[in-house]
Amino acid sequence: MPEYHQLTPELVSQLAEIVGVDNCLTGEDIAEDYAHDEMPIYGTRMPEAVCLPATTEEVAAIMKLCYENSIPVTVRGAGTGLVGGSTPLYGGVVLCTMRMDKILAYDMDNLNVRVQPGVRLCDLAADALDHDLMYPPDPGEKTGSLGGNVSTNAGGMRAVKYGTTRDYVLAMTVVLPTGEIQHIGRAVTKTSSGYSLLHLMIGSEGTLGVICELTLKLVPNPREDMSFILPFENIESAIESVPKIKLAGLNPQSIEFMERDIVDTSAEATGNHVFPTEVNGCEAGAYILVTLDGNDEDEIFMRAERLAEIADGQGAFDTLVVQDPSQKESVWAARSSFLTVIESDTDLIDEMDVVVPVNVIADFLKYVHEVGEQNGTRIRSFGHAGDGNLHIYCCANDADQDEFLQQSAKVMEAAYAKCAELGGQISGEHGIGHAKKDYLRASLGETPINLMAGIKAVFDPKCILNPGKICS
């Protein structure tokens, strides 16, 4: 790790000159939030200054100054990360992009939009709808920034049909660690023009460059969508239905799974009982929630009939149509409540978002529940059955923080090892940050991490940009 310098009063005043004195915070003006993301359990560290630039040129000037003076810089969007990715581990400057929050221009001929990185996902999604367009990536956290979404290759519910954030980034303007401004990618959908620096930047968690503008692909908004609740006896039979649904060519927008346990806790906490617990005289132990979209209601109904046949053949107790708007809202409100409900039901929480092949989801969950039990923690989970991306939470029973972290580390270690054994990956959409670094290395081995570290050094020879993350 290279040697970093501390910010001097002179450097602070130079930063203040770049972004304006109101947008350069130091000392007690820095809110405690800047010391961590949504998982302070992974450690906190206050930065020496927080800069809130408004333009690419300001970002470039900040980076140039920090590069010349070996000051570490950590980029932060909305701070909704879950792996400590925006924690300024070595102090220095937090460069917060949330003042760069403009939706710049739609290109209706080429179906794309230019945005600044501080635009929140929910704001782009709503604005695109006003243009009768859809921005498909749909991670659970709607208030995250698009810069953050790209930095973690955020996935979400609709990945089964539409892919992840990666598939919607056409081009970006980045500031390299040295302060140089570069335009990477172009607003075209097909390219074979040298190594893909664009795809390298996507998912690099703010370690290779600062994203200052994005050109994102949009699609015509499907006119209709319909969801279906499939109650099953248990998680095994629920998960077994997933490959069959995918193979049938129904092209579902999403296939989510939920265990009864979570559904009950959510219903208790929110009073929203939209997932039926008893169906046709059978007690539901798990659910699959399928959404179909398209431009024609009749055509969706035809696919729905086929879905019902498959569900029936797989032992679902019914195929319940969620069609009217209020019911739809209830279902998705319940789905969205899961994380909050889990969090409010425990004092301490640790989480993983592994991705495994679809046909081993049930085996994997069973294994993690067992390991959780052996280590005195409660395991709760839900996630994206259609793409194998599982959100799994370790919840403290009565343990204090130190004891819980030890328990949770044992669960994580065993679970990540199992995940690798089953052909999965450490993270489906949250990223590595610093919390999952050791697990990434254990899962991939030394060589890929060394290649990543080599790439990092090519972009950032002084390692000033978000040091201590992924591979540095």
Q: Residue 1 Cβ, how far from a second copy at the closest point, in Å? A: 18
Q: Residue 374 Cβ, how far from a second copy at the closest point, in Å? A: 26
Residue closer to a second copy by CB (options 129, 188) is 188
Residue closer to a second copy by CB (options 190, 280) is 190
Residue closer to a second copy by CB (options 279, 419) is 419
Residue closer to a second copy by CB (options 193, 326) is 193
Residue closer to a second copy by CB (options 119, 452) is 452
Residue closer to a second copy by CB (options 166, 273) is 166
Q: Residue 44 Cβ, how far from a second copy at the closest point, in Å? A: 23
Q: Residue 367 Cβ, how far from a second copy at the closest point, in Å? A: 17
Rounded to whole angstroms, how far apart are CA atoms 94 and 53? 11
Rounded to whole angstroms, how far apart are CA atoms 387 and 357? 8
Residue closer to a second copy by CB (options 145, 443) is 443
Residue closer to a second copy by CB (options 284, 358) is 358
Residue closer to a second copy by CB (options 208, 395) is 208
Q: Residue 444 Cβ, how far from a second copy at the closest point, in Å? A: 7
Q: Residue 178 Cβ, how far from a second copy at the closest point, in Å? A: 9
Q: Residue 65 Cβ, how far from a second copy at the closest point, in Å? A: 19
Q: Residue 456 Cβ, how far from a second copy at the closest point, in Å? A: 8
Q: Residue 47 Cβ, how far from a second copy at the closest point, in Å? A: 24
